[in-house]
Structure 1
Amino acid sequence: MDALIIAAGFGSRLRDVSDSKPLTPIAGVPLLELGARQAKAAGVERVVVVTGHEAERIEAALPAISERVGVPVVSHRVADWSKPNGWSVIAGADTIDGNYLLMMSDHIFSARILTALAQQHGPDRGVTLAVDYRCDNPLVDPDDATWVKLDQRGFITAIGKTIPAYDAVDCGAFLATPELAEAIRAAIAEGKAGSLSEGMQRLADAGRAATMDIGTAWWLDVDDPRAYELAEDQAPRELPEIYATL
């Protein structure tokens, strides 16, 4: 199985810390490398990185990351990185056969999250999203989080940053099938901007968007200086499978 890591955006909220969010070091390890290492630990055999903003710089770093991680880490550029992130998902998914782990380059996870997520296959779903029921998790920025509303099965009924009622927060890790990119394309064809959440909502409306509860596992969206400081402090302790081997 492959992993698809989205690393095409501008990363404006972290610009005071780093001029390249995917290459921002967390306790000495670039975010993008942390993602690749975590994907490998979950059983991934190849990592596809979708690039856009500062693509040349990120792409130049990938051979060394690949060598350190021990799996192929390849790039694919999205045509217009200023468009919503669903366009990056489509671009990357076009290079992958079958299901794949979908990750954001600025999200990091304890090992058990991705390992468990990689096993969430099933004919009843087009995508499975890792979710955190701890809506008051102090590591979550409520002003930037993507929230999810669930039915009794634990399937998504609504997803977005501004939905009025919710049960959990989107952790930024997915086990995607080809249905996800198809759903984003369909949303674009309807006149939507092309965000990942719009594709997820289409799958939710069809009853095809499942979730996986991460329980008490640690994760962090490293999206601003506050989250960066938290990551610097906590990542070496929470990700021993990575930092203990460096």
Structure 2
Amino acid sequence: MIRTAIILAAGEGSRLRPAAPFKPLCPVAGLPLIDHALSGLAAAGLTRAIVVLGYGGDTIERHLAARSQPLCVETVHSDHREPNGVSALAAAPLLRGEEALLAMCDHLVDPALYRRLAAIGAQGGLTLGIDRRLGHDWVDPLDVTAVATQGDRIVAIGKGLEPHDAYDTGVFAIGPALFAALGSLGHPSLTDGVRLLAGEDRAFVADCSDLAWIDVDDAPALAKAEQWRALAA
């Protein structure tokens, strides 16, 4: 089972600026998003997290250092103006060729979703947690990354993709193959890397439609996240 996670937390998060100056510190049910991610990963059995920081990185790093964390936390820095694939590459040297879970700091995720991907692993390429509940109220159809699948493989991925049969939950099991794909591109996004591996028949999916997650990217999503946590309390 994978024990190390990479959390991407480098973005500017301008759509959440009214709620917090830095997205990872945006509170949901009284707890910053980055703390939700770390506690969820620990609850899923992971023991180490590499947090990739960018915009507001020094402030977020101080926040992490000031708190007692439920797992070992390391930080690296990336340029927030670069795509998220560049952020993922910043964490690669700390993995020493090992597989890792890749998660987004602005996604609230049922720990069971993390656990499922950590148990399945990258399968020689990558495995993406997907949700087949199309039209789910918590998903922004204009912002979500859509996925087209065939069996247990990804055949296409992207925002505004048609046709599609699933949503990208933002949780991956990854290994050296993804870093090699990203490293072969200039200024890559994660989607670029997934597309390369899909073309090599090495991009797999794990159905997580039975598990809750939400991308907290703007004020409406933040309100839905607050509702979810209130119901779960």
TM norm structure 1? 0.90
Aligned partners of 1:204 and 1:144: how far apart in 2? 21
Which residue identity is paired with 1:228?
L
Secondary structure of residue in 1 paired with 2:94:
coil
Unaligned runs of 5+ in 2: none
Q: Is the 8 A contact 2:38 2:70 kept in 1?
A: no
Corresponding residue for residue 84 of structure 2: 85
Q: Structure 2 CA distance, aligned partners of 1:135 and 1:234?
A: 19
Shift of 1:234: 1.0
Among 154, 163, 166, the alignment partner of 1:165 is 163
CA, structure 1 residues 122+84, in 2 after alignment: closer, same or farther (shift >3 Å)? Answer: closer
Return the letter of the residue paired with 1:111.
P
Q: Distance in 1 between matches of 2:128 and 2:165?
A: 13
Secondary structure class of the residue paired with 2:113: helix
Query: Deviations along 1:85-132, whole A, 9 cap, x unmatched?
Result: 100000012211301110011001112111111111364x41110100
Q: What is the CA deviation profile of residues 184-230 of structure 1, one whole-angstrom value per residue up to 9, with x for unaligned ones?
A: 11132xxxx41010001001111111111112211100000001111
- What is the rounded CA distance, in whole Å, between the counterparts of 2:18 and 2:189 in structure 1? 26
> Is 1:47 aligned to 2:49, yes or no?
yes
Runs of 4+ in structure 1 deviating by more than 4 angstroms, as ranges, are none
C-alpha deviation, 1:43, in angstroms: 1.6
* Structure 1: gaps spanning 5 or more residues: 241-246
User: How far apart are the structure 1 equivalents of 2:66 and 2:230?
Assistant: 21
Q: Kindly indicate whether the alpha-carbon contact (under 8 Å) linking 2:99 and 2:122 is maintained by their aligned counterparts in 1.
A: no
Computed over aligned residues only, the root mean square deviation of the Cα atoms, in angstroms, reads 1.3
Per the alignment, residue 100 of structure 1 pairs with 100
Q: What is the identity, as a one-letter code, of the residue corresponding to 1:121?
A: G
Say if 1:187 and 1:202, in contact at 8 Å, map to a contact too.
no
**Matched AA of 2:64:** L
Which residue matches 1:243? Answer: none
The aligned amino acid for 1:75 is T
1:176 aligns with 2:178: no
Task: Report the CA distance between 1:233 and its aligned residue.
Answer: 1.6
Partner SS state of residue 9, structure 1: coil
Shift of 1:12: 1.2
SS in 2 for 1:93: helix
TM-score (norm 2): 0.94
Task: Give distance in 2, aligned partners of 1:54 and 1:121.
Answer: 32
Q: How many residues align?
A: 230
Name 1:4's counterpart in structure 2.
6
Match of 2:139? 140
Query: 1:186 aligned to 2:188?
Result: no
